[in-house]
Amino acid sequence: MKKALLSTFLLLALSTAGARLCRGEDLDLRFTGHAYKNGRLYSEVSFGGDISYDTIDAIRNGITANILVTAQLMKIGGLFTSGKEIVAQRTFTYKISYDVWDNRFVLSDKSKKREHQAALESDIVRELSAAVSPLVLALAKPEGDGKYLLRARIKIQTIKLYPPFGIFLYFFDPWNYESGWMHSDTFSIDDGAVAP
């Protein structure tokens, strides 16, 4: 009995680890630098991790994926105020499709009217970094010596099923992805200069 229980536990642990290895790292975003100029905050960003194999396979088979990057600039409260106030917010939308004739992934950016192409799955994340960076947010003249924080999250949408079929995606959804909020370090903006 104990051997059966132990072997079942080991099999479950190995299959979970194997599924995690096959899935790769979760997609994430890092803020690498900030600059303030002419009422706009420019933030250099870089993406890391991988898009899941199931999502890549769905794109390769003809499904278009939407990648939404939502960025928020937050002002951190001072000594007598608590909490964080959202000062600026922007959502960047990209589409990834697969060009069968050229054997390439195509990343379309409607706001800048540009296309980025990637020959390999691993190049998609690099092209996404090139498309998003620098991340630009409108910001009125900063007041006083306030501290700011940037945060962003990534959402990948491929298949959207409506009720009653959407219940299946609630339990098992290998094609869509939503990250948690990823934060920058706090920084202040003084007369156009950005300081940590």
**What does the pLDDT look like over 76-97, one tens digit per residue?**
876 555 567 888 898 988 999 9
* 94 membership: H or E segment, kind and range: strand 84-99
Residue bearing the bigger pLDDT, 114 or 118: 118
**At residue 137, does pLDDT exceed 60?**
yes
The confidence score (pLDDT) of residue 12 equals: 45
User: pTM score, two decimals?
Assistant: 0.74
**At residue 131, does pLDDT exceed 70?**
yes
Tokens of residue 24, six digits: 């790769």
Angle at 75 between CA 69 and CA 81, to 5 degrees: 140
Q: Across the chain, how many H-helices and E-strands are there?
A: 4, 12
pLDDT band at residue 16 using 50, 70 and 90 as cut-offs: very low
Site of tokens 């498309």: 131
- Nearest CA to 39 out of 138, 165, 119 is that of 138
High-pLDDT (> 90) share of the chain, %: 8
pLDDT band at residue 188 using 50, 70 and 90 as cut-offs: confident
**At residue 187, does pLDDT exceed 60?**
yes
Mean per-residue pLDDT of the chain: 77
Average pLDDT estimate for 30-52: 86
The confidence score (pLDDT) of residue 51 equals: 86
DSSP 100: T
Cα 132 versus chain centre, distance: 10
Site of tokens 């630098």: 33
Domains of the chain: 26-187 (2.60.40)
The confidence score (pLDDT) of residue 62 equals: 87
**At residue 21, does pLDDT exceed 50?**
no
The confidence score (pLDDT) of residue 19 equals: 44
The confidence score (pLDDT) of residue 70 equals: 92
